[in-house]
Structure 1
Amino acid sequence: MIFQPLLNWSQRTSIVTQIIIGLVLGIALALIWPEAALKVEFLGTLFISALKAVAPILVFVLVIAAISNKRPGESNHLKPVLWLYVIGTLSAAIVAVVASSFFPTTLVLTDAATGMAAPGGIGEVLMQLLKNAVANPIDALLHANYIGILVWAVAIGIALRRGAETTRQAVADLSNGITLIIQAVIRLAPVGIFGLVAATVATTGTEALAGYVQLLAVLLGAMLFVALVVNPFIVWYKIRRNPYPLVWLCLRESGVTAFFTRSSAANIPVNMGIAKRLNLDENTYSVAIPLGATINMAGAAITISVLTLAAAHTLGIVVDTPTAILLCVVSAVCACGASGVAGGSLLLIPLACSLFGISNDVAMQVVAIGFIIGVLQDSAETALNSSTDVLFTAAVCIAEAERNSTT
């Protein structure tokens, strides 16, 4: 009975407002009572675990349902979304290279980092993507291999289009049931973020970031420029009207949760919910958003480019224009191979560093620095990556809907 007023309030108040309240309370608890803040970390851990647990099965079932129930002649507009993903990721890499050229950063490199394995080349990254695509479906679900999940879901969906109507309806009902579970999990976001923020502030504070102010400024500045200038321009070109209402909505509702969960994969259910509230084409967003969590990595492209050039500047390596252009392309390709989990882009830095002949030992030291500043870097990177998934998907769906309404 005592929880009824709280339940009523939560139903009347927007999830974003509740998340902001959880954020403020988490910071306050960490500053006033750090010991207690560390003890509530389990709330954040449980929330992220719940998201990660339900996201693979959500993607698997939604994609099967969308494809198996697709009527002949319907278009899912996936190709234009993929083009926006490619353009957005490459543009982010260019912004990062230009920012690093105007504001060159040097690092303090000491002992080489150990105990980490980085890809040996672009071919290795692409080969891993192919292996993920043909992975065992059960293994793909267990390990959140979204490339494998998508491949199997598409294949099963196409096969079920020849099945009985009752079978396809059962899949659609299962999809609706999983969606209800997701909505219940997302309602717990304020509590989870309260635990995450309280523990993070109590553990790290700001001391670990003090020595890397300029590096963080370049990284975060490039990400903000992409989020507030580049992405809006791309969306404007697609929908031909003021893009900022849509941009702000995606940043506020997707970017905020992604910032704290630090996982594009865990934020898939959030983006699915936003797409549904925007009344987007389910045939499009049910495939495009999970795919974006795997390959649409503008933030990762920025991280790889900025940290690679920081290593080059530290070692006194002159970066000419052709090499800078090549780095943009390599960073974009590498970013597509970054995993949708916290810190997934950092281990691809040695690959980009190899363009400048930088040894793996030095490159792994840069990776270690990336983990030090990861409290902000990885959070901002994930917020940009994940909010862009739903932003570009929404832009394509809106443009196609307007085009259809005028014909």
Structure 2
Amino acid sequence: MKLIVRLLAGIVAGVIIGLLVPQAGVIEALARLLVTFKSIFGEFISFTIPLIILFYIMSGVANLQQGSGRALGSTVGFAYLSTIVAGSLAFFMASTFIPGMVELGSQAASEGGGLKPILVLHIPPVMGVMTALVMAFAFGMGISATGGSELKTVVDQAKDIVELMLSKVLIPGLPFYIAGVFAEMAVDGTVFSTLKTFGVVLMLAIVMHWIWLSILYFSTGALTGRNPLSMLRNMIPAYLTAVGTMSSAATIPVTVRQAKANGIDDNVVDFAVPLCATIHLSGSAITLTTCATAVMLLTGLAEPTYAMILPFLLMLGVTLIAAPGAPGGAVMASLGLLTSMLGFGESAIALMIALYMAQDSFGTACNVTGDGAIAALVERFGRTAEEPMASAILPEGQEG
């Protein structure tokens, strides 16, 4: 919550500085410093993206515990399907309602706007996004299959270094980065239309979370013979806990307790809920898809179509498996896909980060609430009567 306050302060400071630029030379110098920081910090984000994908996904795949095969496969399958369908529904809702609510293309001139950085520094990434993704899965599955403990230790330590870089450099620097972005927009005259869009998109994302949870629980109720309203009511404490903690992992004890209150087998809950805290991110997919659609319309980047969004969603469902545990980890993990598959530039990325972080707690709450429905489906379809349930262990530091 402190980070959200800092981000909001960064937005306000950036807007004020940008609006005052024409009146004062000192303010213009400050604005140029902010834009310089934004430029260099943006390069650092681009450098970090492949490292996040490489080490987090490699470590996440290598650390997936070997539970009973059918239960593990069913849990992963239901979670992945939920994420893709939720994201698809979010796209259709966003592409239907957002065009009538925002000024389309109003942000198109923001890339390379009126303020110029004092210094331009290029930091090329060590590899491309798709190279990092393929390498992560190839080596992650290889480590899991061969039990390569030494290589696994190296990968986990590298992931810890990247996580330290995220928590000590990237996340603390985001408010200043966002301030630079909004200072640029204020100078260009596009800031107020952008802020109006922020409110529309955030409200639409939260409404979509509850629409999806209703669909998920009513479908689960029909398939398992349970009362969906009763199931949803029992999961409310998990939702509220996640809003406060902004972490699926921190909410696991409450999610487990409430899922068991729905009458789901204890062994199934103990297996499925910790695993879903890592791999089930339907709320995050809804927000990312809604925000990406809005940013594409707002910037005039491209006319979003489902043919464009579906491949992005299919890759997003895989990439989010190992989203970093820091606040906003899902959006940080998705940046590579946004740039490589949807063509997002620096300003579009900054808008995505600001939009996502503003509602991170609600996306996480949707994720964990949906975990109760996934556990019920796994109990119904995910194992044979003779098949024992193994304990699922959440890789350290994961976010939902």
> TM-score normalised by the shorter chain: which range applies?
0.5 to 0.7
The aligned counterpart of 1:392 is 374
**Counterpart contact for 1:339–1:345, Cα < 8 Å:** yes
Q: CA deviation at 1:126?
A: 5.8
Which of these residues, 231, 239, 243, is aligned with residue 255 of structure 1? 239
CA distance in 2, matches of 1:402, 1:333: 27
The aligned counterpart of 1:352 is 338
The aligned counterpart of 2:200 is 214
CA distance in 1, matches of 2:350, 2:198: 14
The change in CA–CA distance for 1:341 and 1:224 in structure 2 (over 3 A counts) is farther
Which of these residues, 121, 124, 138, is aligned with residue 132 of structure 2? 124
User: CA deviation digits over 1:141-168, x for unaligned, max 9?
Assistant: x96x9xxxxxxxxxxxxxxxxxxxxxxx
Instruction: Look up the equivalent residue of 1:304 and give its one-letter code.
Output: L
Q: CA deviation at 1:400?
A: 7.4
2:75 aligned with 1:90? no
TM-score under structure 2 length normalisation? 0.55
Which secondary structure state, in structure 1, belongs to the residue aligned with residue 152 of structure 2? coil
The aligned counterpart of 1:136 is 153
Q: Where does 1:296-311 land on structure 2 (aligned, <5 Å)? A: 296-311=280-295
CA distance in 1, matches of 2:123, 2:256: 34
2:95 aligned with 1:101? yes
**Counterpart contact for 2:238–2:254, Cα < 8 Å:** yes
Return structure 1 stretches of 4+ with deviation > 6 angstroms.
Answer: 111-119, 207-211, 399-404
User: CA deviation digits over 1:233-290, x for unaligned, max 9?
Assistant: 431343144322112212x121110111001121122223334555643443333222
Q: Where does 1:5-404 land on structure 2 (aligned, <5 Å)? A: 77-104=71-98, 108=107, 110=110, 120-122=128-130, 124-125=132-133, 127-128=135-136, 131=140, 135-136=152-153, 212-229=198-215, 231-250=216-235, 252-278=236-262, 280-316=264-300, 317-347=302-332, 348-359=334-345, 361-370=346-355, 374-375=357-358, 377-397=359-379
**Counterpart contact for 2:202–2:355, Cα < 8 Å:** no
**Counterpart contact for 1:96–1:222, Cα < 8 Å:** yes
**Counterpart contact for 1:350–1:363, Cα < 8 Å:** no
The change in CA–CA distance for 1:305 and 1:285 in structure 2 (over 3 A counts) is same
Instruction: Look up the equivalent residue of 2:249 and give its one-letter code.
Output: A
Instruction: Look up the equivalent residue of 1:334 and give its one-letter code.
Output: T
User: CA deviation digits over 1:41-98, x for unaligned, max 9?
Assistant: xxxxxxxxxxxxxxxxxxxxxx99x97xxxxxx9973333322212211111101110
Instruction: Look up the equivalent residue of 2:321 and give its one-letter code.
Output: C
CA distance in 1, matches of 2:207, 2:378: 27
Instruction: Look up the equivalent residue of 2:347 and give its one-letter code.
Output: V
User: CA deviation digits over 1:333-372, x for unaligned, max 9?
Assistant: 333342344211112145234323333x13422234235x
CA distance in 2, matches of 1:117, 1:254: 42
Q: CA deviation at 1:216?
A: 0.8
Instruction: Look up the equivalent residue of 1:342 and give its one-letter code.
Output: P
**Counterpart contact for 1:353–1:363, Cα < 8 Å:** no
Q: CA RMSD for the aligned pairs? A: 4.2
**Counterpart contact for 1:88–1:298, Cα < 8 Å:** yes
**Counterpart contact for 2:71–2:383, Cα < 8 Å:** no
Which secondary structure state, in structure 1, belongs to the residue aligned with residue 324 of structure 2? coil
Q: CA deviation at 1:386?
A: 1.1
CA distance in 2, matches of 1:299, 1:228: 13
Instruction: Look up the equivalent residue of 1:234 and give its one-letter code.
Output: S
The aligned counterpart of 2:187 is none
TM-score under structure 1 length normalisation? 0.54
**Counterpart contact for 2:242–2:368, Cα < 8 Å:** yes
The change in CA–CA distance for 1:392 and 1:115 in structure 2 (over 3 A counts) is farther
Single out whichever of 231-240 and 122-131 deviates more from structure 2. 122-131
Once the two structures are aligned, what percentage of the paired residues are identical? 22
Task: Specify every segment of 5 or more residues in structure 2 that has no aligned partner in the other structure, as ranges.
Answer: 1-63, 145-150, 163-191, 387-400
Instruction: Look up the equivalent residue of 1:297 and give its one-letter code.
Output: L
CA distance in 2, matches of 1:268, 1:126: 30
**Counterpart contact for 2:273–2:372, Cα < 8 Å:** yes
Q: CA deviation at 1:212?
A: 1.7
